[in-house]
């Protein structure tokens, strides 16, 4: 059964971007390489700060919408619950 990922990317200023993907490693690489014009390229959002697995595409989209509706303070608390130092969780993936 395929897995889907809901993820939060950030930059040095802690600007947040929430997305969904089936291939987390590929999608994070696309953000890091700035391959797609838009918000993440404009704001240099290249660090993976948080991710979680969903069992279905519908579940992932539902969770993404839920996270996007949260107050910024709640999003920050979610990241810090698993990544208190705001490390790039994808560091070392592309060596």
pLDDT value, residue 19? 97
Is residue 22 domain-resident?
yes
pLDDT value, residue 2? 81
Give mean pLDDT in consecutive 10-residue pieces for the chain, a chain of 95 residues.
94 97 97 94 97 96 98 98 97 88
Give the predicted TM-score (pTM) of the model. Answer: 0.95
Is residue 66 domain-resident?
yes
Is residue 92 domain-resident?
no
pLDDT value, residue 94? 87
Query: Scanning the structure block, which residue is given the tokens 């130092």?
Result: 85
Is residue 74 domain-resident?
yes
Question: What is each CA distance from 54 to 6, 20, 27, 33, 59, in whole angstroms?
Answer: 7, 10, 16, 25, 6
Query: Count of domains in the chain?
Result: 1
pLDDT value, residue 70? 98
Is residue 64 domain-resident?
yes
Question: CATH number, domain at 48?
Answer: 3.40.1440.10
pLDDT value, residue 3? 95
Is residue 62 domain-resident?
yes
Question: Rounded distance, CA 60 to CA 54, Å?
Answer: 5
pLDDT value, residue 34? 95
Is residue 88 domain-resident?
no
Q: Domain range for residue 78?
A: 4-82
Is residue 93 domain-resident?
no
């Amino acid at each position: 059964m395929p897995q889907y990922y809901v993820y939060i990317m950030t930059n040095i200023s802690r600007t947040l971007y929430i997305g969904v993907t089936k291939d987390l490693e590929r999608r994070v690489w696309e953000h890091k390489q700035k391959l797609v014009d838009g918000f993440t390229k404009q704001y240099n959002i290249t660090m993976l700060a948080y991710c979680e697995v969903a069992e279905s595409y519908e579940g992932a989209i539902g969770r993404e919408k839920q996270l996007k509706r949260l107050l910024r303070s709640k999003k920050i608390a979610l990241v810090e619950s698993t990544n208190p130092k705001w490390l790039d969780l994808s560091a070392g993936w592309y060596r």
